[in-house]
Amino acid sequence: YDGVVVPSVSEIIREMGQSKDWSQIPEYYKMRGEAVHLAISLYLKGTLDESSVDEVVRPYLEQFKAWDKKQEMYIPTTEQPYYSPRLHYAGTIDLIANGVIWDIKCSKKLDKASEWQYNLQGGAYRTLTLDSLGFSYPFKILLLSGEGEAQEIPLEAPVKAWENLIELYNIKTGRK
């Protein structure tokens, strides 16, 4: 971050064995998720060329746009990297809007087996906003299935659990 190599949220969670084995997920789904994130980011920035959106991505984008239209007093920050000078790690938050940290997932349902990982991720993002901006927001998953309405799933996202995990990570890797 800013010229200094620091671990990412995903790297820490993976290194500490708290992540689902994403290597078993077909490349198609990874690429689709990246394309949906990019389309949403460009849409929010007002730079999306709608004619360039692939038909695979379009249903997820339309679902997001329908959700977006329902938001009030909406001031989004999208795909923004943050750094914690206190804990020396960085992460890119999908969306901060209306005082909520949103992590966007493209799936039919939230994988309960991954919920712990998402809680740690949320704790990491809450810590990043606290350390970078001076305040911590609640954390929610915005689940886009490409059909019907987007689902908002609030998670506890405990900051203390993240701080403990990063302390163990530092011991394991010899950081600090």
> Is-contact 78 44, C-beta < 8 A?
yes
Q: What is the pTM of this model?
A: 0.90
Residue 134, sorted as left (phi over 0), alpha (psi -120 to 50) or beta, turns out to be: left
What is the rounded distance in angstroms from the CA atom of residue 9 to the CA atom of residue 107? 21
**Interhelix angle for 27-45 vs 58-69, to 10°?**
40
**How far lies 139's CA from each of 4, 19, 32, 44, 159, in Å?**
27, 18, 23, 19, 11
pLDDT, one tens digit per residue, over 146-167 is 999 999 999 999 999 999 999 9
101-147 pLDDT per residue, tens: 999 999 988 877 788 899 999 999 999 999 999 988 999 999 999 99
Nearest Cα neighbor of 29 from 162, 145, 154, 155 is 145
pLDDT over threshold 80, residue 21 = no
